[in-house]
Every structure is written in C-alpha cells, then in structure tokens.
Amino acid sequence: SDFSLLLDLLDVIVRITKKNSLSQKRFKEVGAFLHFINLLNTEKHADRLPILCARVLGTFVALLSNNPKNKKTLRILGYDGLKRLVLRALQADSSGYLRCRIIDLLFSLLIDDQYLRKDGQYMIQSPDVLPFLFQLCDHFEDNLKHDLMDTFIPFVENNTLNRSLCCQQGVVYLLLE
C-alpha cells in the first residue's frame, strides 16, 4: 500500500541521513522539514497518524543529529506546528502506539541520537527541544507526565552542563506555568 511505501521511504531517509552531514544538508535544501510536517497535517492517513508521527519524529532525529544548521532551520520554522501535530496524533492514538514511544522519541531529539532507557549519562545536544518537550508535557495525561519527569530528572541530576542548558532555555519557568 502507499502507506507502507511511505513508512519504508522514511526508514530509508533515516538510514541515509543519520550522522551524514551532506545528506542532511541536501534534505534541508529541498525543504524536507516542511514536507515531513505536512505529512502529519493531512487527512489522507488520519487513521494511522500515530504511526506516521512516530516515524516522522524518528526522521527528524536523523536529520538534526549533530547538524547545527538543520537545528537552526527547524528552530526558524518553529516547533509550534509540530507540537500541534504531535498532540493531534496522541489524541488519535487509540492503540497506544505513539504513547508508548513518545518519551523515547522526544528524548532522542534532545540528545541527537536514539535514546535507550538505560543507566548512562546523556548530554543534551539540542537544547531548543527543551521548550518543545515541556510545552507538550502540559497536554500529556498524568502517567505520561510522570514518565517524562522520571526520564528527565537523571538528565539533570548529576550533569552540570545539562542543568545549565535547562536554565538557558527557561525550563523552570515552563514547569511553573
């Protein structure tokens, strides 16, 4: 089906662009970020929006990984549209597919790599994701909020640089809002 083909295409893009700055640059030049956001903004695959959203977020991780220019492009485009689409996908997530993956996907965006829930120190590589992360958190169900905070606390607990980046991004203010 065309949906399976789309998912396969996103998987190939991840493999091509992961930590490959030239490929990442090419995808940025052709406006890939807008195209991927538009994939989520269509009604064509509304019934499978949670699956598509997870794959698009995974593609963003590959496109942004260790690439300051691509991060700047997404920052200029803004995270608001992406936030609305992620929330829409979570609302449509009757199977729990996206709910089970959203925290890991968001933390993967934060560290520029696949986040694996294991004991270890992760460095925040994309501090621009912090406001996006906590603005999304405002709309999460309580159990998802707890999961996010349980995942986030080790990031800052013993890491001065991560705490500093959180301060620069106003995380305290976001949490108090």
> 17-54, pLDDT tens digit by residue?
987 899 999 999 999 988 888 887 777 777 889 999 99
Closest CA to 156 of 171, 177, 141: 171
Q: Is 95 helix (H, G, I), strand (E, B) or coil?
A: coil
What pTM was estimated for this model as a whole?
A: 0.89
Count Cα neighbours of 123 within 13 Å in the Cβ-side half-sphere.
Answer: 4
Length of the chain: 177
The tens digit of pLDDT for each residue in 56-111 reads 999 999 999 999 999 999 888 888 888 988 999 999 999 999 999 999 999 999 99
